[in-house]
Chains A and B, each alone.
Chain A
Amino acid sequence: MFYLSLIEHTLRLPPHLLNLPLDEAIKIELEALFLDKVIANLGLCISVYDIRSIKGGFIYPGDGASTYTVEFRLIVFRPFVGEIIVAKLKESDANGLRLSLGFFDDIYIPVHLLPIPSRFESDPNNRNQGRWIWDFGEAEEAQSEEPRFVIDGMDQIKFRVHSVIYPSIPLEQPENSKPFAPMVITGSIDYDGLGPVSWWEEAEMVQEES
């Protein structure tokens, strides 16, 4: 899920940080610049791991601040394809599910990557939202009683990373569309052991009994 990346960056250190020791000042500046930001093809930057080297310290003419070339390592969040991650349900609508990790929210499970067969039951109060139900096994039982395999917000959902894309920044955005997401993870729960954790706890108990 997390990788270390070695980055070299030319940094301008604003004068108000000059009273601090150099490492601290540079760290503060790097954190302000990189933390919680997405770098294309690298991932979401979580933290500055360490600073390898600081060179430079030149002051350009007309500027009151010094400029350093810093080499440092960042912890980035970049899941690889095939990784299994546990997340919580954020939204569920007719296009599929949207999951959240707390620090990262753009995880989508489109309809074709849900276990087959699944059906969508829309919420009477809210037309767009609803819940997904997996129709597994006995069809008659599922229809008559409360269905067993519902995807609701109760417990955590395990999914497998299908792809990670970094869409390019759009030039213009229409008014009411969702804010631009620089990193989008597409996941799949169409396999044994994936989906809400509670689905498979039942399976375990059944196995132990038999």
Chain B
Amino acid sequence: MKIKEANAGALTNFEVLDFLRSRGASKDPTRVIVPIAPSEFKVYDYLVESAACNQTKEHINDFLERCKNYKLAKAEVLNIINLRPSALVEIDPIIEQSEKRFGKQLEELVNLVVEVLPEPPTQKNAEQGNSEDKEETIDRKDMDEGERETTNGDEDQAEQTEDGEKMEDS
């Protein structure tokens, strides 16, 4: 096996989610039929709960255009698109030397993010203040996690030990 180009391009969470969706991944339990491996489904489950799930290509392109005049590093733009910070305190760890480079402009940047990129689903729940719904989803999530962990935990660990050796040989 030869690695021709270790870095042939960075992908945002949205692009990976879009790719998995285009192959047929979805939330409902028709999962056995589609040609997607269980490990890919785990990635899909993670991405669908992140800020990437409501994004579209237009949102991303729009945001890229509008943030050009802020002179952000590529890594910072990637972080912002993946996380969708909606407050100053959330954007602070993403941007290095934020005071020196931006100062007051940081608020503008946060407003731009909130305006252009759609809200992730968990933030919507929190803002509506529906505590009952939140508890239900948390319980269900915990149950699902518990089940999945017990069945897949051993498999994954075994796979990891096996593949470690394999990769060394090749």
A residues neighboring B (CB under 8 Å):
1-10, 31, 35-42, 46-47, 49, 71, 73, 75, 77, 80, 82-84, 86, 88, 101-103, 105, 153-154, 156, 158, 160, 169, 179-182, 191-194, 200-201, 203-204
**Of the 9-residue stretches B7-15, B53-61, B62-70, which lies at the interface with chain A?**
B7-15
Contact A169 B2 (CB under 8 A): no
Per-residue interface assignment for chain B, residues 112 to 141, with 1 indicating a CB less than 8 Å from any chain A CB and 0 otherwise: 000000000010001000000000001000
B164 contacts the other chain (Cβ, under 8 Å)? Answer: yes
List of A residues within 8 angstroms of B42 by Cβ: 102-103
CB closest residue in chain A, given B20: A47
Contact A3 B83 (CB under 8 A): no
Partner of B159, one of A37, A88, A203: A37
A to B contact number (C-beta, < 8 Å): 143
B1 contacts the other chain (Cβ, under 8 Å)? Answer: yes
Per-residue interface assignment for chain B, residues 1 to 25, with 1 indicating a CB less than 8 Å from any chain A CB and 0 otherwise: 1111111111111011001100000
Contact A192 B93 (CB under 8 A): yes
Interface residues of B in 138-162 (CB under 8 A from A): 138, 142, 145, 156-161
* Given A3-B8, A84-B94, A200-B87, residue A42 in contact with residue B161 (CB < 8 A): no
Contact B8 A5 (CB under 8 A): yes
B102 contacts the other chain (Cβ, under 8 Å)? Answer: no
List of B residues within 8 angstroms of A4 by Cβ: 7-11
The docked-state distance in angstroms from the alpha carbon of A164 to that of B12 is 19
B45 contacts the other chain (Cβ, under 8 Å)? Answer: yes
* Given A1-B82, A46-B40, residue A204 in contact with residue B6 (CB < 8 A): no
The docked-state distance in angstroms from the alpha carbon of A182 to that of B93 is 28
The docked-state distance in angstroms from the alpha carbon of A1 to that of B85 is 16
Interface residues of B in 46-94 (CB under 8 A from A): 46, 50, 75, 78-79, 82-83, 85, 87, 89-94
